[in-house]
Structure 1
Amino acid sequence: MTTMTRNSFKREIPVFPAKARWIWLPEQEFPNAQATPVSYYTDHHGFAFGSAVFRQKVTLPERLDDCRLLVTGDSKYRLFVNGEIVCDGPPEIGGDWNNQEVPDWFFYESYKVAAPFRSGVNEVVAEVMLQGDSQCDYSTGHGGFRLALLEGDRLLLGTDENWECRFDTGRRPERIYFPEREPVTWTRAQCLAAAVSQRWKLRYYPLPPLAVQEVFPDQLNIRFGGERISGTEDFLGRRGPLVLRHGSPVTFALHFPTEVAGCAEFEMESAPGARLTVRYQEVEGFPHEYDEYCTNGGRVKFRFHSVEAVLWLEVSVVFASFGYEGYDDVRLYKLSMMSQGFPLGEAAPFHSADSSFSAIRKCCENTLRMCMQRLHWDSPVHKEGLGCLADYRINALQSYYLFGESRLMRLDLIRIALLLCQKQHLLFHTTYNALFPVMICEYILYSGDHTILEEPEIPQAVALVFAGLHQLEDGDGMLTRADNYMFLDWRAIGDCNYHHPDRSNGAASLTAFFALGLQAGVRLAEWQGTQDRAEQLRRAYNRIQENFHRHYFDAGRRRYRNGPDTDNAIPQTGILAILAGLAPQEIAAEIIDDLCDKTLQRQVQPYFCHYLFDALAAVDAYDRRGSEVLHLWDELVAEHPESLKECWDCGDYSHSWSGTPAIQFGKRILGVIPEAPGFAACRIAPKPCGLPHAAGSVPTPHGEIGIEWTRTAECFQIRIQHPRAVKIHFCPPDGYPLENCILKEKSD
C-alpha cells in the first residue's frame, strides 16, 4: 500500500466510464449474499457474513505514467495486485451514533498506478466484505464492487460480467479466519441492474492515501511455554524466525517502539490446523480486541482487517492436533503492525523552560496521528462516527497548530453537513449540533478557504441547525424544549449522568452552546456578505445574553445553575456561561477561580478543559491559572506516555479529544491567534504562565510564524518572524506595559 500515491486531480474530478459496471456475486447462485447490514447498529441477524472475491487479469503498457485506478466497494474492500495489498476502502461516509439510515453519499478513490503494478500481465483481486467492522462503516444495503483502470481516457480494465468471483466464508463474525482450502470454485460475476446501482450516490474522495508504515516489535516477553520458544533475538532483529516447538499452547507478548493504529500482519509456517491469536493492547495485560487465524498448513502471509490501537500484542499459538512431517513446529517469520494514518510531516517545533510541556505535547501529537485517518476518529479503539463532532473540533484545532493541516477537516465538515441534511439536524448529541457553525468558522480562520461556503450542503446544514435549535427556545430564548441535552461531559452526580443530562441539568449548557453557535453564525454571514442574516442571528444571541444570567445565576451561591427547577450547579455550566459571553464581566472575573479550582479537583474532564482554557483567556486569567491546569496532564503522560487517556480516572487511551494542550502551547503560550481568514491578520498575545522563555512556530497557509520570547521581572523580549502576507498585531502579556517590551519583528 505504501507504494501508491493518490492523484490530487485539483482541476478535474475523475469519473467512472460507463463500461466499468457495478458487479456482485450472481444472485441465482448466492441469494443469501446480496443484502448487507446498513451500519454497525443494524440487527445483523439473517445477514450473510463473509467476503465476495473478484479477480481479473490485465495487460499494462510499458509506461505507467498516464495510468490511474478508480475503485470503490460496499461494504469494505481490499485490493490486491500480483498478490500484494495495494489499497483498501472505501473512505468512511461519517455516520452517527445508532444511525441506521442508508447513506445518501458513498465515496470512490483514484490512485496513480505504480508498483506492484507492472508492464505486461497483472492479476487484480478484490476482497469485498459484506459487513463492516466499526461504528463508522456504512453500506447502502447491497454488496457491490466497481473498478476502472485507465490510460488517459482509454479503459484498460473495468468491472463487468467477465470478472470471476467466489464467496469466501472464512472470515467469521467472532473474528476467526478460516482460509478456504484449494481448489476453490470460481464463477462469473453479475453486473448489477440500474435499479440496484443507483443506490450508490458516488462522490469523489479528494484526499491523499493514508501513509502506511510497517512497525516491528522491539521486545518479547514470554507468558507460557517459554521452554519451547527459541530464536527470540533473531526474530526481533529480523534475521530469522521465532521457532515454537510442538506441544501445549505458548503465549508471549510483543512490545512495539511506540503505540500505533494499524493492522497486524504475520508470516508463519505450520501444520494444518495451527491457530494464531493476537490480542490488541494499549496497556500490557489489558486487551480491548482480538483476532484469530487458523492455518491450512505451509507458509502463509496474512494481514488482519481491523485497525486497532496497539502498543502490545499478546500472541498465543495452538499447535495442530496431528503431526505433519516438516511442519510440527511453528515458525513465525514476522509479526508486525502495519501502522496507518493521514499523511503528516513533522510537527511544528515548540520548546520551553518546562520540559513536561514537551512530553505532554508529544503525547498529544502521537494520539492525533493515530486518530487522523480517512476521517477523524475519536480513537482507533472506538472508531465513532462524525456525529460526535465536538471531538473532531479539538482534533482539527490540533492539526492546525501542529501541522497546518486542514484538508481532512474540510471533507469532514462536508460529511457532517451531508449527515445533518439527511437527518434534518437531529443528530444523537444535541449540544454538538450547535458547534457545527463554530467548526466552519474556525476552519476558514485557519485555512483561509472561503470556498467551503460554496459547497451546497454547508449553508443548508447551518440553516437546519439554527432552525432546529430555535424550535427548542422558550419565550426568553432559553433552550428548554429539547428531546435531549447531550453531550456535556463525562461526569455523574447522584442519579444525573451529564453525558445525557435531563432538562433541569442540561438546559443552561445547551443554551450556552447555542449562543456560541450564533456568534459563529454572525461571523459566517458577514463573510458571505449577508448582513440581514447576520443581524437576525445577532438579535437571537442578544436575547439569550439579556436573559441567561437572570434565569440561571444563583446570587447566593455565586454560581450558574444547570437549568430550570434545580439547584444543581456543576462547573461546566459556569465555564460555558463565561465563554459564550453570557456572564457579566464582573461576575465572570469573580467566579473563574472557583471554576478553575473545581477543574483541579477533576470535576472537569480533559475534553471540557478546552472550554475552560478559552474561558480563562476571556477574563484575562490564563496567565495566572493556565499552567496549573496544563499540568493536570502530567499524570496522564506519566501513566501512559504514548497516547492520551479518555478521562482523568476512567476510559481507555488514544483519545485525541483530550489533546487541547497541543492547541494551548501554540495559541496561548506562543500566543498565535488568527483574526482574519487564513491568518491575513494575526494577533500575537503570549501568556507566559510563569515560564522564563518559550519558542516555536505555528503553520499558516502562507508559511510558518516563528515566535521566541524571554522574560525577566522587568522586561519581555519577543522575536516574531512571519510571512509578508500576515499582518501582525502584538499584544503584550499581563504585567508588561508596551514600553517594557522589546519587539523584534521580521517578515519574509
Structure 2
Amino acid sequence: MSILELVPQLKKFKTIYEKGDNVQLPEKWIWLDPVKYPNNQTTNFSAFCTNDNGNYSVAEFKKSYIFNKKIQKVHLRFCGDTEFRLYVNGNIFATGPVTVEGDFIGNENPRSNYYATEADFYPDGNELSFFSVVKMMPVKICEYSKGHGGFMLAATVTFDDGEKIVLTTGPDWQSRLNKAYYAPYRFDAGLDEDDFCNSCVVDNIWHTTTAPLAIRTEDVKHPIGEKFVTVPPRGDAECIFYFDMIYAGYIMLDVVCYGKVETEVVCSETGEQGSSEYITTVGCCNYRGLQLHSAGSFSVKIKNLSDSKAIVSPRFMTTFYPVNKQVVTRTGDADVDLILDVCAHTLKYCRQLHHLDSPRHCEPLACTGDYYIESLMTSFSFGDMSLCEFDVLRTAQLLRNNDGRMFHTTYSLIWVRMLYDVYMITGNKMLLTDCEDALLMLLKRFESYVGDNGLIENPPDYMFVDWIYIDGLSMHHPPKALGQTCLNMFYYGALDYAARIFRLMSNEKMALVLDERRTRLCGNINAQLYDDEKHMYFEGLNTKSPEEYIGQYMPQNVDKRYYLKHSNILAAYFGVCKEDPCDLIEKIMADEIPGDVQPYFCHYLLEAVFSNGLREKYTMPIINRWIEPVKECSKGLVEGFVAPEPTYGFDHSHAWGGTPLYSLPKALSGFEILEPGMKKVKLSPCSLGFDNPRVEIPTSYGNIVCDIKSDGSFTLVHPREITVITE
C-alpha cells in the first residue's frame, strides 16, 4: 500500500497552549499613526527579501495606570512585530517575540504563525506602567514579520480584594517613532525627538498562538580588567574590552559627557572583524542595542566631538533561555572536563527563543541537524526540554506550510528522529499526535523522490551532508555522487523511526507499510551503493541528475566515484550494513576509508560506536579530537575541525559540534531509555579508562547519579519514580 493512500485530510496546528489564569485575553494590536508616519507602516516578511525598502522603524509605546487599591497579580499576554522589549513598572520584563518557524525558502509570503508570550507580574502597590520598544523589519535571518508594524498587550489585573479587570492596548496608548534608531545597527541621539501621540488600532493580521516558553533570562557582563575609557576633549581613543567567555547578547554603552560622542563597537569572538554598531550620543546616555551579537570582546573606537572629556563604559547584556539547573559529568581528566564545560557554555547561549546554530549566524529554525544534537545535549545538561519540544512542533508547522519540504533535505528527515527522541525523553505524547499530519506529508514527499531503481533519485537537492569540501565540491550541497547515499541512509532512518512513532500511536497498519518500504530500501542501497570488493559504501551513483533540478544548490553530477567516511558512518549508525557494522567502524577508525568529518558528523560516528558495542574502544579516540581546538579557544565551541575552504573563518559559538556533552556521559553510563519519559532506563556503566568518573543525568523526577570505579564497579542513586535496569 502506498503512503499516498494513507494520508488523511491534513489538520491545522491544533494545540492551544493555556497558561496563567487560563482566560482567553483579547488581542488588540496598535501601531504608529499612519497620517503622521506614512512611511513607517509596512515592511518585508523576512531578511531574505531582496527588496531593501523595509522601512526600518523603531516605535515606542507607553501607558500608565493608578488604581485605588493594591494589585495582587497581573497576568500578561503580549507580542510585537518584528522584535520588542517590554518594560513593566520601569524594569525590563521580556524580550521577544518567540521565533516563528523559518526556513531558507518560502520567504516570499508571511509565515502562517506568530507567537505571543504569557507571563505573570507581581507589582508592589497600586500602580502599573508599560513601556515597549518595537523594531519593525527583519534584520537577522531568523527574524520574521507579518509585513506590518504592531504591538499587542492584554493584562488581567487581580486586586487584593479578588476583583479582576482586563486591560488592553488601544488608541489611549501613547506612541512615537524613535528616530535615533535610524537604521539597523545605527543610533544617533542627536536626531530630533518626536512627541508622543495617540496610537492607532490596526487590523489583527497576526492571530497569535501562545508559545509554551518562558521569558528569556538576561545577565549583564562587564569586561575583565578595564571597565571604561576616558577620552579627552576633541580626542580619539581605541580600546579592546575582553570578556571571560563568548556570550550572546545586546551591546550596552554608558556615556558620560557634555557633548557629542561617536562610538563604534565591533563584536569579535576570537579577534575577527565581527558584527558592529555605530552609536552617536549627545550628553549623558545609556544605550542598549536592538540586535543580538556574539562576542568574546568589544573593539571600541571613540571620537569625542565635545569640549569636555567623555567616559565610555561598554557592557554586554547577555541573554539565554532560562536555566533552572545544570548537571555536570566529571571524568577527572582536566582536558576532557574542559570540553564538556565549553560544550555546555555554548549550548546555553544557543538556547534563545529557538535553538540557534550559533548567535553569530542566527539561522532560522530549519537547521534541524543542529537543533537535534542540541536537544540531546540538553537532555544531559540542563534537562529542561520545553524549548526542544516547541522546536519539534514549530518544525512540523514548517513542513505543513511547504507541503513537507524543507530547504535542507536531510534535515527534514532528521526531524523524524528528533521527534521520536524528544518524545522518549519527555514522555509527552501530544508531540506525536500533533505532528502526525506533518510526518505523513514528509513521507509522502519522499516517496515521490524514489526512482525506478528503488533509491531516492529525484530530490530537489542532496543537502546537507557536512561542512567540508571534496575535490572543490561542497558537501553542504553536494552533487549526486557525493550526496545520494547519505540521503538514502537518512531516509532509511526516517522510515525506521516513523514506523516506531506510528506503533506508539497504535497505528500498526501504517507501521507495517513503512517497515516494508524500509526493508526494500535497505536492499536497494546494499545492491547499488555498496562495493563488494572494497567492502564499503560509496557516496552515490554517477548517473546525471535531471536538468530541471540543476541550480545553485543542486550541481550537476560528476563522473568520479567517491569512497568517504560519511556514508559508511551512516550505514553503521542506521544499521543498513550489508556486512558486520563493526568491521565498517574499524575501517573508519583505521582511516582505511578516505576523507575527514567535522564535529557535526562525529555525532553520528559516536552513536554508531555506541550502538555497535564499541564504546569502550573508540569513544575517547573520537572525543579526544576536541582537546586541541578547545585548548586553543576555551571561551566557546569552534564550528569545525578543518576549514572547509581557505578563506572561511569558523565561529566559536556553534553548538552543533557539542555532541561530547551528550555522547560522553551516555557512553560512560551506557544509558538507554526503555519507556517514554525515562520511566524505565537501562544503565551499563564503564569507566572508559578514567579514574572514578561521575555521570549525572537530569530527569523530570530528579537526577540519576552514577559513580563509576576504574574496575567497572559503580554506585547508583536515582529517583524512586524511575525503574533502572543495570548490566
Q: Does the alignment pair 1:644 with 2:650?
A: no
Using a 3 Å threshold, how does the CA distance of structure 1 residues 622 and 497 change in structure 2: closer, same or farther?
A: same
Q: How far apart are the structure 1 equivalents of 2:20 and 2:64?
A: 31
Q: How far apart are the structure 2 equivalents of 1:312 and 1:599?
A: 42
| Consecutive aligned runs of 4 or more in structure 1 exceeding 6 Å deviation | 599-602
Displacement of 1:381 in angstroms is 0.4
SS at match of 1:169: coil
2:28, 2:152 within 8 Å by CA — same for their partners in 1? yes
2:564, 2:593 within 8 Å by CA — same for their partners in 1? no
SS at match of 2:119: strand
1:684, 1:729 within 8 Å by CA — same for their partners in 2? yes
Q: Deviations over 1:317-369 (max 9, x none)?
A: 1111x53xxxx11023x422111111113421322242222111001000000
SS at match of 1:141: coil
SS at match of 1:137: coil
Using a 3 Å threshold, how does the CA distance of structure 1 residues 277 and 83 change in structure 2: closer, same or farther?
A: farther
Deviates more, 1:511-520 or 1:471-480: 471-480
Q: How far apart are the structure 1 equivalents of 2:19 and 2:718?
A: 28
Q: Which residue of 2 aligns with 1:718?
A: 714
Counterpart mapping for 1:444-459 below 5 A: 444-455=423-434, 458-459=435-436
From 410, 416, 437, the equivalent of 2:395 is 416
Using a 3 Å threshold, how does the CA distance of structure 1 residues 242 and 599 change in structure 2: closer, same or farther?
A: farther
Displacement of 1:619 in angstroms is 2.7
Q: How far apart are the structure 2 equivalents of 1:86 and 1:346?
A: 22
Displacement of 1:448 in angstroms is 1.5
Q: Deviations over 1:79-124 (max 9, x none)?
A: 234554332211111311244131111111122224xx55345543
Q: Which residue of 2 aligns with 1:249?
A: 236
Q: Does the alignment pair 1:109 with 2:117?
A: yes
Q: Deviations over 1:688-741 (max 9, x none)?
A: 3333432222112222222112134xxx3122222233222323xxxxxxxxxx
2:244, 2:635 within 8 Å by CA — same for their partners in 1? no
From 114, 132, 136, the equivalent of 1:126 is 132
Q: Deviations over 1:284-340 (max 9, x none)?
A: x3231011210122x2112111121221111111111x53xxxx11023x4221111
Q: Which residue of 2 aligns with 1:595?
A: 588
Counterpart mapping for 1:335-374 below 5 A: 335-374=314-353
Q: Deviations over 1:665-689 (max 9, x none)?
A: 2211122221221122212123433
Using a 3 Å threshold, how does the CA distance of structure 1 residues 354 and 600 change in structure 2: closer, same or farther?
A: farther
From 540, 549, 554, the equivalent of 2:531 is 554
Q: Which residue of 1 aligns with 2:187?
A: 177
Using a 3 Å threshold, how does the CA distance of structure 1 residues 538 and 687 change in structure 2: closer, same or farther?
A: farther
Q: How far apart are the structure 2 equivalents of 1:599 and 1:349?
A: 36
Q: Which residue of 2 aligns with 1:26?
A: 33
From 24, 44, 53, the equivalent of 1:15 is 24
Using a 3 Å threshold, how does the CA distance of structure 1 residues 506 and 581 change in structure 2: closer, same or farther?
A: same
Displacement of 1:138 in angstroms is 0.4
The gaps in structure 1 that reach 5 residues or longer are: 1-7, 221-235, 732-748
Q: Does the alignment pair 1:507 with 2:484?
A: yes
Amino acid at match of 2:406: L
Amino acid at match of 1:362: D
Amino acid at match of 1:243: T
Q: How far apart are the structure 2 equivalents of 1:717 and 1:172?
A: 65
From 261, 268, 271, the equivalent of 2:255 is 268
What is the Cα-based RMSD across aligned positions, in Å?
2.2
Q: TM-score scaled to structure 1, two decimals?
A: 0.87
1:60, 1:118 within 8 Å by CA — same for their partners in 2? no
Q: Which residue of 2 aligns with 1:569?
A: 563
SS at match of 1:563: coil
1:59, 1:119 within 8 Å by CA — same for their partners in 2? no
Amino acid at match of 1:722: H
Q: How far apart are the structure 1 equivalents of 2:596 and 2:318?
A: 35
Displacement of 1:201 in angstroms is 2.6
Q: TM-score scaled to structure 2, two decimals?
A: 0.90
Amino acid at match of 2:259: P
Displacement of 1:12 in angstroms is 5.5
1:64, 1:113 within 8 Å by CA — same for their partners in 2? no
Q: Which residue of 2 aligns with 1:295?
A: 281
2:413, 2:494 within 8 Å by CA — same for their partners in 1? yes
Counterpart mapping for 1:500-539 below 5 A: 500-539=477-516
Larger RCO, structures 1/2 (Cα 8 Å, 6+ apart): 2
Using a 3 Å threshold, how does the CA distance of structure 1 residues 575 and 13 change in structure 2: closer, same or farther?
A: farther
Using a 3 Å threshold, how does the CA distance of structure 1 residues 242 and 14 change in structure 2: closer, same or farther?
A: farther
2:565, 2:595 within 8 Å by CA — same for their partners in 1? no
Q: How far apart are the structure 2 equivalents of 1:60 and 1:545?
A: 70
Deviates more, 1:482-491 or 1:50-59: 50-59
Q: How far apart are the structure 2 equivalents of 1:180 and 1:80?
A: 24
Q: Deviations over 1:379-402 (max 9, x none)?
A: 010111111111000100000011
Q: How far apart are the structure 1 equivalents of 2:43 and 2:576?
A: 49
Q: How far apart are the structure 1 equivalents of 2:67 and 2:116?
A: 22
Q: Deviations over 1:615-646 (max 9, x none)?
A: 11233222112211110000121111121111
From 189, 198, 202, the equivalent of 1:188 is 198
Q: How far apart are the structure 1 equivalents of 2:21 and 2:89?
A: 29
1:168, 1:180 within 8 Å by CA — same for their partners in 2? no
Q: Which residue of 2 aligns with 1:207?
A: 213
Q: Which residue of 1 aligns with 2:13?
A: none
SS at match of 2:450: coil
From 600, 606, 623, the equivalent of 1:613 is 606
The gaps in structure 2 that reach 5 residues or longer are: 1-16, 543-559, 644-649
Q: Does the alignment pair 1:280 with 2:267?
A: yes
SS at match of 1:150: strand
2:103, 2:406 within 8 Å by CA — same for their partners in 1? yes
